[in-house]
Structure 1
Amino acid sequence: MIIISKYLVPKNYIGLTIYPFVFLKNKELKSDSYLLNHENIHLQQQKELFWVFFFVWYFAEYLVLLIKYKNHNKAYKNISFEKEAYQNEGNLNYLLDRKKYSFTKYIM
């Protein structure tokens, strides 16, 4: 389910996924197929890890990467969940063939 809210999406981001919702900063983004694919990849990751464990893993990995890189953007872009989503957002058939826990191929 897509919800439009400029207040729920953090500054400098255009989308946020918290299963089962995809929050977008504005309604025009609903037509961005790559963004929606990116967020749908996150929905699948969250389903696999029962969203609570997804967020524990996500923030733990982010903290380790932040210590490693000492840079928020670099740490964020290297989180395994983000790497999988960014590298496959342009493949609109990705979720049809994706194997469970595919994000593990992108860990550090």
Structure 2
Amino acid sequence: MVVVWQLLLKNTKISAITLFPLIILRRPALRQDAVLINHERIHLRQQLELLVVFFYIIYVVEYYYWYLKLKNPYEAYKAISFEREAYAMEKNLDYLKTRKWWSFLKFRRK
């Protein structure tokens, strides 16, 4: 389900966030952004296959690992395997039709 919750994302640079089972958008117009919605749907699939809670645990652990290694918050975010998969495949609007389980593992950075 896609919802618009401007107040939640008001003072951030974030356009959208996925908090299972919701995709939360900053602005109503973003509902029309197929690439952004696909990116967030990839996160929904990742969250489902990791029973939601394990997704968030791994996400935070990876973020801090990369932050300590790279010393850059944005680069740490981009290095997270879940984000790497979502960014790499967001333009392929048919990706979720053929995506195999645990595909984010192919996007781990060494």
User: Under a length normalisation based on structure 2, what TM-score does the superposition of the two structures give?
Assistant: 0.95
The one-letter amino acid paired with 2:106 is K
Equivalent positions of 1:17-96 (< 5 A) are: 17-96=18-97
Query: What is the aligned-residue RMSD (CA, Å)?
Result: 0.9
How far apart in 2 are the matches of 1:19 and 1:48? 12
| SS of equivalent residue, structure 1 residue 91 | coil
How far apart in 2 are the matches of 1:99 and 1:47? 13
**Runs of 4+ with deviation above 6 angstroms:** none
How far apart in 2 are the matches of 1:107 and 1:67? 17
Cα-to-partner distance string for 1:10-34 (whole Å, 9 max, x where unaligned): 6011000011100000100000000
Equivalent positions of 1:4-15 (< 5 A) are: 4-9=4-9, 11-15=12-16
The one-letter amino acid paired with 1:21 is L
How far apart in 2 are the matches of 1:82 and 1:12? 16
Aligned length: 108
Give the unaligned 5+ runs of structure 2: none
The one-letter amino acid paired with 1:68 is K
The one-letter amino acid paired with 2:4 is I
Which sits farther off after the overlay, 84-93 or 6-15?
6-15
User: Under a length normalisation based on structure 1, what TM-score does the superposition of the two structures give?
Assistant: 0.97
How far apart in 2 are the matches of 1:97 and 1:62? 27
